[in-house]
Amino acid sequence: MADTVPYKLEQMVDELDDLERKGMFTRIVEIYRLAVMRFKGDLELWFRYLEFCRDKKNGKRVLAKLIRFHPKISEMTETLVLCQLQKAFQLYEEALQLVPSPMILIFHQVGLCLHYQEEFGIVPNSLRGTSAAYVVFVYKLLLCATALSHNTGLAFRQPVHGQDMEHNSFKLPSVHLLCLLLLCPLVSCQLNYKFYDYTCPNLTKIVRSGVWSAMTNDSRMAASLLRLHFHDCFVNGCEGSVLLDGGEKNALPNRNSARGFEVIDDIKANLERACPATVSCTDILTLAAREAVYLSGGPYWFLPLGRRDGLTASESDANEQLPGFSEPLENITAKFTSTGLELKDVVVLSGAHTIGFAQCFTFKSRLFDFGGSGEPDPLLDTSLLTSLQSTCPNQDDSDTKLAPLDSASSSKFDNLYYKLLLNNSGLLQSDQALMGDNTTASLVLNYSKFPYLFFKDFGASMVKMANIGVLTGQNGEIRKQCRFVN
């Protein structure tokens, strides 16, 4: 499909600039507005499928087939009559005649531009009326997407195997950057998507190779690297402190459970040979977590880089700041919001439990003595309860045995975690607690139905998390070895 190919921004700028000269850009915006008005569902999903089946002669038959296999399409078509389906094709075909590029990208840009114009009302005069500048403006906003808590979806397109996604080159016209100065926090803007382009051009390939090798040898490693990144960022920010010997490694949430340190060490050693004293351990861990998700079948997101390594690690801070497996939702939410994240991020990032395992001691109380009652958790699915009691018998020597967090697909990154929660089959008490609040339960329901929505939001939340309390500029250091300060 066309949307799997990384798209050159300069080509889109040229095409939209040509449309502007021909007076057609206004019509593209009109088509977008009309499509939004007519189709109340996921507009992007509509155009993805229309892109896929546009060459088919019988559009109705193709859509009928898609409806059987995709619940989101089925849900939307329940409210649409045939003439509206035909209108969708007509709008899409007209847009394709105007713009030869993948239309999904064009509509991303138009939609985001209109959104920011309306929400902030501060688009500089130099950007008004120029289609090319519209796109450049969106790209500049994308550089600070975390600060704005938005994402265009461009960052979630699957990369072509063998291509280094961090090194796509963009030729950007000169654009007034007032909007960036107004909207971007200083730290977020000091990180840069091209930070290592010249100093370590093979960075992503080296990290991906190291992660893939580790996952090949240990199927649990993807989840371990993702958890390690999470535990790093939640304790005084993303600055690689969890990698230092002593300190956070000895905290209760990490002791005898945090894994993947040797993988980061190996990647660091390879990078030191390729580009000495250049790449921070924090950036390595941040990239490794992304590659672990992607190589497990999950989304891919772009990351601004340039984080530096911290100089200290605190066991007490880790014990205090990391969310616990049996904490109530309000406590977990408070720990998230203290870092700048939101309630939605709690639900989204909990979806990381779609891969990996948990030790029996983290959930055994739900099996035998929930809340001191001497009985199992009444909410836990009975068939799962029976299975877990067999895996984790009520005796001390079973504490370190393992059970999958997602019993349906423990090594594949998907949205089945949320479906399990709907069936009262969440393994950890903190997981199932998401169903006890109307807001979080609604998000769980959405992510259980729409995997693309989960993937999109997961990438956005991961970018936000990766920017918590980062060190840049002259703060911190670039460690020579990730386990020790220089």
Q: Which residues are catalytic?
A: 231
Q: Which helix (H) or strand (E) holds 402?
A: strand 402-404
Any binding-site annotation on 248? yes
327 labeled part of a ligand binding site: no
Residues 6+ apart with CB under 8 A from 330: none
CA distance 99 to 93: 10
Residue 135 annotated as part of some ligand binding site: no
Residues with Cβ within 8 Å of 77's Cβ and at least 6 positions away in sequence, in order, are 63, 67, 85
d(CA 336, CA 430): 13
DSSP 240: S
Determine how many CB atoms are found less than 10 A away from the CB of residue 64: 13
The answer on whether 293 is annotated among ligand-binding residues is no
Q: Is 229 annotated as a binding residue?
A: no
DSSP 44: H
Q: Is 316 annotated as a binding residue?
A: no
- The DSSP code sequence of 75-105 is HHHTT--HHHHHHHHHHHHHHHHH--S-HHH
Binding residue per annotation — 232? yes
**Dist CA 137 CA 126 (whole Å):** 10
Closest C-alpha among 293, 302, 301 to residue 222: 293
- Confirm if 92 and 50 have CB atoms less than 8 A apart: yes
Calpha distance 54→44 (Å, rounded): 15
Integer angstrom CA distances of residue 209 from 149, 229, 267, 288: 30, 18, 9, 10
Flag whether 130 is marked binding.
Answer: no
SS in 3 state form for 264-318?
HHHHHHHHHHHCCCCCCHHHHHHHHHHHHHHHCCCCCCCCCECCEECCCCCHHHH
Distance, in Å, from the CA atom of 231 to the CA atom of 248, rounded to the nearest integer, reads 9
Q: How many CB atoms lie within 10 A of CB 96?
A: 16
d(CA 150, CA 168): 21
Report yes or no: 165 and 459 within 8 Å, Cβ to Cβ: no
Question: Beta strands 357-359 and 402-404: pairing type?
Answer: antiparallel
Q: How far is Cα 231 from Cα 241, in angstroms, rounded to an integer?
A: 9
Number of other CB atoms surrounding residue 87 within 10 Å:
16
Q: Is 353 annotated as a binding residue?
A: yes
Strand partners, 309: 477
According to the annotation, is 265 in a ligand binding site? no
- Please give the Cα distance from 89 to 93 (Å, whole number): 6
**Residue positions in the annotated binding site for substrate?**
323
Annotated binding site: 232, 235, 237, 241, 248, 323, 353-354, 406, 414
Annotated binding-site ranges for heme b: 353
